[in-house]
Amino acid sequence: DAGVIQSPRHEVTEMGQEVTLRCKPISGHDYLFWYRQTMMRGLELLIYFNNNVPIDDSGMPEDRFSAKMPNASFSTLKIQPSEPRDSAVYFCASSVIRVGYGYTFGSGTRLTVV
């Protein structure tokens, strides 16, 4: 398996523009998580899905953020409009429902909003 695949690896955009981050989870994993990592706040859970259904989006910072999972092999995280404080590394991770089973993370998307 190629692991969790995220694209793009780097994104630089201007304030006010729409940004879409993409994730392909590991086949057979029924949970998908979106995290954001910054030096100040560490890894923060934004939203997670079970069998393509959003379960908990309480970590999404505000209405400018939205996430979808149209099928088991694809998810997107969209920011519209983007702001400089959204600059961070965004990670997607997938897992299965089993106590003690770890998450498999993608390599992340480094987003810079100027």
Partner 1 sequence: TQLLEQSPQFLSIQEGENLTVYCNSSSVFSSLQWYRQEPGEGPVLLVTVVTGGEVKKLKRLTFQFGDARKDSSLHITAAQTGDTGLYLCAGATIIQGAQKLVFGQGTRLTINP
User: Smallest distance, Å, CB 31 to partner 1?
Assistant: 6
CA distances (Å), origin 28, targets 72, 97, 100, 113: 8, 11, 17, 34
Q: Which of 21, 60, 93, 111 binds partner 1 (CB under 8 A)?
A: 93
Nearest CB to partner 1, comparing residues 72 and 81: 72
Does 42 interact with partner 1 (rule: CB under 8 A)? yes
Under DSSP, the state recorded for 51 is T
Q: Which of 4, 19, 60, 69 binds partner 1 (CB under 8 A)?
A: 4
